[in-house]
A and B are shown apart, each in its own frame.
Chain A
């Protein structure tokens, strides 16, 4: 359900990825595509390169020469720039605090793509829609009371998803007890994708 301007979501669903626990197997990346965009399983995301998934994998080397890995996805930002810039109001927030897309209102201008500080969107080659977390498959899972595909697929329990408004949810408890960060904290977008730094 689309929230009206000024209306607050009842839940604030958020993702959490534990970089210290992650073994880099990419099961989440593939399960995301298989669940939400199975037609893209054997096709690359030509714009960004690599698998067409709502989770993006970045590899690098730290200043100390250690290999490092980052998995990123839409942070369902509380102050989402993509929502503010979409000329036709196709990007909206739902009652769960998730940033969603109404494809009927999308003209494919890709302003939301350039507005996202996290480069979280990719453009579907067939529909022209700006894709990101959450896809339809995961929305159905969440509506059925299950965890999304990436959380279910992770063999290392490095992922979680839950309600920040509920102090007893597993994500709230982890964030209370473990060191964590968000990406580009000064972006002004108030992202809700948390990277936990300790197991």
Chain B
């Protein structure tokens, strides 16, 4: 291992740690399932997009060090008529708010599936079944996941995050998360078997892609020009965060689901194993986000 100067990690200073990882996780689920909704128009999918996006937004709102100042912030923005469209965080607020509204519409359309008959339910249902709504919903889902990746790449103080591999990794793992949720829905009887069978094969392919993307990210970072990126990657591979990488991202997130899928393809499906595999995948998606966040450090200024 190379000799590196001591680093200042961002988490103790900026506090972009587990709470932001959970936020990204909810965005991954809400975004991925919005894409799945194109094909799987079920109440459970629509409700989950809405709830995941709402929970994500709540988490990130209360992560703000000055959330109580938001009314004044909004008032000042409107008063001055100045909006920083160059900031991914500002764009993200818009994208996620739109996603929450679209998720709410989709959930509204499925209200009668759970025995609630709201006014204009039929008309909303008709609209959400159309290709236009489903297309916009799916596109905004992709955008919300991509945003959560570019949010990191734009943080110029943290060289580990300065790679386009992060949005790609976020997109692939968001698809993994969406498939895992669909598998859980199958176990719970909320979607039919057809969705689940397609899901298992798709999940295997996505896991393979995710493994390649994770290894590429680690390789690019370990060989980067930046000392902070290299040191962050070394933390992930063999340092204090190695348990997250090998236990969480690779072990739970990839090895367990791949092994279980291989077993089931060979010996037949089991709802119990499907549930274990899906939960394990979802945990891996969270650990991936946490590990990338926690390994972020500033470039050493001395040495």
Contacts and interface: CB of A to CB of B under 8 A. Distances in A.
A and B: partners? Answer: yes
Contacts, number: 134
A161 interface: no
B301 A114 contact: no
Given A105-B76, A105-B77, A122 B157 contact: no
B154 interface: yes
Of the listed residues A85, A121, A187, the one surrounded by the most CB atoms of chain B closer than 10 A to its CB is: A85
Given A107-B66, A109-B64, A118 B14 contact: no
A85 B8 CA distance: 21
A118 B13 CA distance: 13
A62 B303 CA distance: 7
A189 B299 CA distance: 14
A106 B87 contact: no
Interface string B219-256: 00000000000000000000000000000000000000
B82 interface: yes
Contacts of A115: 154-157
A89 B303 CA distance: 34
Contacts of B14: 47, 110, 113-114, 123
Interface string B1-23: 00001001010111110000000
A122 B15 CA distance: 11
A119 B154 contact: no
Interface in A64-90: 68, 70, 72, 81, 84-90
Contacts of A127: 66
Contacts of A167: none
Contacts of B76: 88, 102, 104-105
Nearest to A189: B156
Contacts of A110: 14-16, 65
Of the listed residues B10, B12, B70, B84, the one surrounded by the most CB atoms of chain A closer than 10 A to its CB is: B84
Interface of A is mostly: loop
Nearest to B84: A89
A68 B301 CA distance: 12
A104 B72 contact: yes
A3 B63 CA distance: 30
B73 A105 contact: yes
B298 A108 contact: no
A164 to B, nearest CB: 22
B301 A183 contact: yes
B296 interface: yes
B13 A108 contact: no
Interface string A110-153: 11011111110111000111000000000000000000000000
B64 A47 contact: no
Give the interface residue-count category, chain B: 35 or more
B117 interface: no
B84 A119 contact: no
Contacts of A102: 76
A60 interface: yes
B184 interface: no
Nearest to B298: A119
Interface in B251-303: 296, 298-299, 301-303
Interface string B133-162: 000000000000000000100111110000
A128 B15 CA distance: 11
Contacts of B93: 87
Contacts of B303: 60, 62
A184 interface: yes
Given A81-B157, A108-B66, A114-B14, 13 more contacts: A47-B13, A48-B8, A85-B87, A88-B73, A104-B72, A107-B69, A109-B89, A114-B155, A114-B296, A118-B301, A123-B13, A127-B66, A187-B156
Interface of B: 5, 8, 10, 12-16, 63-67, 69-70, 72-73, 76-77, 80, 82-84, 86-90, 92-93, 151, 154-158, 296, 298-299, 301-303
Interface of A: 46-48, 58-60, 62, 68, 70, 72, 81, 84-90, 102, 104-111, 113-119, 121-123, 127-129, 183-184, 187-189
